[in-house]
Structure 1
Amino acid sequence: MTDTATAAPATYDDLRALIGKVLGPTDWHDVTQERIDAFADATGDHQWIHVDPARAAATALGGTIAHGLYSLSLTPALSAELLRFDGFAHSLNYGYGKVRFPAPVPVGSRMRLRATVTSADKLPGGIQVTMSQVIEREGADKPVMVAESMVRVVEHD
Structure 2
Amino acid sequence: MKGSFKNLRKINLGIRSFLYYTNQQLTEKSDVYSFGVILFELLSGQPPLCGARLGEKYKHVKDWAKFHYETGDIRAIIDPSLEGNYKDIQSIWKIAETAVRCTNLYSTERPSMSEVLQEIQDAIALEQASANSTAALPVFSDDSSQFPELR
TM-score scaled by length of structure 2? 0.20
TM-score scaled by length of structure 1? 0.20
- Higher strand fraction: Structure 1 or Structure 2? 1
Highest CA radius of gyration, 1 or 2?
2
* RCO higher in structure (CA 8 A, sep ≥6): 1
